[in-house]
Amino acid sequence: MSKKLYLSAAAHKHDNPTQCPQKCGENVHCKAYMDLVEARMKELGVQVKRGYPDLVGNAAMKQRVAEANAWGADLYYVAHTNAGGGRYSLTLCWSDETSKQKAAVLGKYRTCIQPHKVRTRTDLYEIRATKMTCLYDELFFHDNTEDCRWFHNGGMEQMAEQTVQALCELLDVTYIPKGVSGAAALYRVQVGAYAKKENATAMMARLKSAGFDAFIV
Ligand SMILES: [Zn+2]
């Protein structure tokens, strides 16, 4: 059974203005970031649900959490960006040790922006109402011009890929770097190598009669 990942990108009722180099918003760049995470996790064989792209605010959160709980997601991952003048990356989670350890895994891979902090929050709806672990990222501070510029000049791609590495560890899924074909990770089993074709054909017949799918190369 492949793992189930629920993704929830910021969907504020009134999108927060940012200091991004182009016309943007917290909802806008979190969606773009989540699109990258979604595509890569699907590529790596994980079942992914996003849910309710047209809803915003409390309605979006309620629908998403209800869907994730009914689906039985293994992990619920939220991406927002922060405001208030800091310069760090932050993952919020429930107060149990397991959640804190899982949140720290995001920081372990997030070398593209430092430092990374873990804080517990029990008041946020998506953390409180999800039955599975919820990791709630505040990726960077969107009121910081320099970090906004960094995010929109390759930082987003870098961060998404590092998050994918962390999610793979959390879901116990093999991480394959971007651009490396899945075939490169295939391990082929060989049974014998023969100088005479009839010996090879005989071995293939034996394997097939034993129920294995065999072919001669
Ligand atoms: Zn932006």
> How does pLDDT run across 167-202, given as a tens digit for each residue?
999 999 999 998 886 655 556 677 888 888 888 888
d(CA 33, ligand 1 centre) in Å: 10
Mean pLDDT of the region 66-92 = 97
d(CA 135, ligand 1 centre) in Å: 21
Count of positions (residues) in the chain: 217
d(CA 79, ligand 1 centre) in Å: 13
Mean pLDDT of the region 63-74 = 98
Beta strands in the chain (DSSP E): 4-9, 47-49, 75-82, 89-93, 116-120, 134-141
The lowest-confidence range among 3-17, 51-65, 137-151, 174-188 is 174-188
pLDDT exceeds cutoff 90 at 82: yes
d(CA 194, ligand 1 centre) in Å: 61
d(CA 120, ligand 1 centre) in Å: 26
Angle between helices 156-171 and 97-109 in degrees, nearest 10: 140
pLDDT exceeds cutoff 70 at 121: yes
Task: Please tell me whether residue 39 adopts helix, strand or coil conformation.
Answer: helix
Q: Which of 94 and 211 is assigned the larger pLDDT? A: 94
- Categorise residue 157: left if φ over 0, alpha if ψ from -120 to 50, beta otherwise: alpha
d(CA 32, ligand 1 centre) in Å: 9
pLDDT of residue 186: 56
Q: Which of 207 and 6 is assigned the larger pLDDT? A: 6
Mean pLDDT of the region 19-33 = 97
Largest CA distance in the chain: 75
d(CA 172, ligand 1 centre) in Å: 31
d(CA 167, ligand 1 centre) in Å: 23
d(CA 56, ligand 1 centre) in Å: 18
d(CA 25, ligand 1 centre) in Å: 5
The mean pLDDT of the chain is: 93
d(CA 148, ligand 1 centre) in Å: 6
The model scores a pTM over 0.85? no
